[in-house]
Structure 1
């Protein structure tokens, strides 16, 4: 897969990612400590949830999140398939997922469970802005044009997230937004998406 960004553009994006993620990690460190305590008090299990996702070029990485579900929730996914709001298994969306813990529901509503992914950005697995990372098993159902979304690093936020998040239930709409981002990338676009992210999070639009 040929690179999408020119070398100097990729370098500029990486500098913004690294600086932004490091500053954000310092600022949210006290909050992460509080969240860790709340998660431990709310339900048994680890604070962090580690999941394998697909990144740039189809390479896998371990994505970090604050745990919002009970331990063993992944094994229950098949039994809840009938509750999926989307007809596509690649977009598994349940508004009142019974696996989510009490604290986890609050964290999801405010997207606080995503904060550990700042470390994924520092490590180079992710970008602040980019397509949402999906599961490796999803690639089995990809058509040729779907693989275009793997041309750049996945992001903590992106055009999909600021355009509806969980309210978008058609995988083709997700791909269309991701491809638009990739094909029209600029630092200005990244900054615009970052600026739109906070209002979307505060409004809790499409979050569950």
Structure 2
């Protein structure tokens, strides 16, 4: 079910238009839907992302029942177009504020690895797995691992 994911603004005004105009940037973005050292991110936005505080407003989504504390990453509409039947299973569960991808990435995985970790979570879900992920989230946030 589509919903508005609450976040602090971390990008410059017109970021989407800038992406549309820059072919190289667009190609890099298409691979993972994230950019390391994204030139569209503001100085304050870099700090918010590095500290993961940009995700804090999504607690509103959790309280409204649109998201869970733990689960697969929320996706944007452009990602949905890439999905086949296997990936569409990700849409059967609530997206999470944190998840396996956020706590397990020691390097930046590509998009397929991200989807695989989210699928693993769905296939192996348990209260214990959620607790493990929640317990590993804080050290990941403090270390700034994977935040960009």
The one of 11, 19, 37 equivalent to 1:69 is 11
- How many corresponding residue pairs? 148
User: Aligned partners of 1:85, 1:190: CA distance in 2, in Å?
Assistant: 34
Conserved in 1, the CA contact under 8 Å of 2:20 and 2:26? Answer: no
The answer to whether residue 96 in structure 2 is matched with residue 164 in structure 1 is: no
Instruction: Determine which structure has the larger strand proportion and give its number.
Output: 1
TM-score (norm 2): 0.91
CA RMSD of aligned residues (A): 1.9
TM-superposed deviation, 1:81? 4.7
Indicate the residue corresponding to 1:206 in structure 2. 146
TM-superposed deviation, 1:75? 2.3
The answer to whether residue 76 in structure 2 is matched with residue 135 in structure 1 is: yes
Conserved in 1, the CA contact under 8 Å of 2:70 and 2:95? Answer: yes
- Structure 1: gaps spanning 5 or more residues: 1-58
SS in 2 for 1:128: strand
- Larger RCO: Structure 1 or Structure 2 (Cα < 8 Å, ≥ 6 residues apart)? 2
Indicate how the Cα distance of structure 1 residues 110 and 104 shifts in structure 2: closer, same or farther if over 3 A, else same.
same
User: Deviation above 4 Å: which 4+ runs of structure 1?
Assistant: none
Conserved in 2, the CA contact under 8 Å of 1:93 and 1:166? Answer: no
Larger Cα Rg: Structure 1 or Structure 2?
1
